[in-house]
Structure 1
Amino acid sequence: MTGPARLPRRRRGEEGETLIEVLVAVVLMGVAFVTIFGGMGTAIISSVTQQKVTGADSVIRSAAEKVVSAPYVSCASGYETPTPPAGYTVTVEIEYWDGLSAFGRSCPTADTGVQKVTLTVRSTGPHPVKDATLEVVKRESMLS
């Protein structure tokens, strides 16, 4: 009988990779994937936020155009605004010039013909953004 079989000796360049080398490669790939997916998540959230800000700006501007084009109403309790798209609400507050120095919430006995209309647009949903506010000053037309 012959002795135990010997495996052929490896030549230079045929060495396999060690376990440590494989672990280091896996860890590096894991870090790369976490970085890539984290960046993608941040980009998606930023995109949704910017879309809501742009939408709120569009809603508030169209509401302001509707208020400006509406006829002046003495001691008005509100002005009509367009129906906002889903995910937005519009509120209208009116203050009246007292004829001396300030706007107030109650209409003076003699309407001075100047109103400050404050429009506020609020976004709703999973990622709400800061409210958009726009003030419009309405004056009674003297061209009657």
Structure 2
Amino acid sequence: MTAPARRPRRQRGEEGETLIEVLVAVVLIGVAFVTILGGMGTAIISSVTQQEVTSADSIVRSAAEKVVGAPYVSCAGGYKTPAPPAGYTVTVEVAYWDGVGAFGAACSPTADTGVQRITLTVHSTGPRPVRDVTLEVVKRESMLS
């Protein structure tokens, strides 16, 4: 019998990668890709949300400036505010000082003490609404007239 043929020995630098090594590398690259993609998605959503909150804050401050600059109206049903951009609504609520230590919703022209607390709220009505932005202003009747 003749001796079985021997395979030639591999020379240095000719080692190949095994299938398991290739699969592990592909899985690691996939995990890294998914992590990066998820982080980018979170950053984009956070950026859009922050932009909407900043816009709502700007709208409520603009409305507050308009209310502060308007003349005092005894037992006002509401103050006029600038029309908000599309996707936002502004609500105005007026509470009246009772002269004792509390604000209330009811007012009579004879009992108006000349102090009002005006609450302005901006609500986002877009596809992904953010929290409402609220600002309170205390308005006082001018005694200079």
- Say which is worse superposed, 102-111 or 65-74, in terms of deviation: 102-111
- 1:96/1:108 contact within 8 Å kept: no
- 2:75/2:109 contact within 8 Å kept: no
Aligned to 1:3: none
Matches of 2:18 and 2:102 in 1, distance apart? 81
Question: TM-score normalized by structure 2?
Answer: 0.89
Matches of 2:42 and 2:91 in 1, distance apart? 31
- Give secondary structure in 1 for the equivalent of 2:27: helix
Matches of 2:85 and 2:109 in 1, distance apart? 38
> Which segments of 5 or more consecutive residues in structure 1 lack a partner in the other structure?
1-5
- 1:66/1:81 contact within 8 Å kept: yes
Aligned to 2:105: 105
Aligned-residue Cα RMSD (Å) equals: 1.8
Aligned to 1:26: 26
Aligned to 1:115: 116
Matches of 2:125 and 2:72 in 1, distance apart? 31
Q: How does 1:1-144 map to 2 (within 5 A)?
A: 10-110=10-110, 111-144=112-145
Matches of 2:96 and 2:73 in 1, distance apart? 11
Question: TM-score normalized by structure 1?
Answer: 0.89
Aligned to 2:3: none
> Which segments of 5 or more consecutive residues in structure 2 lack a partner in the other structure?
1-5
> Which one-letter code corresponds to 2:78 in the other structure?
G
- Say which is worse superposed, 20-29 or 128-137, in terms of deviation: 128-137
- 1:98/1:108 contact within 8 Å kept: no
User: Number of aligned pairs?
Assistant: 140
Deviation at 1:129, TM superposition (A): 1.8
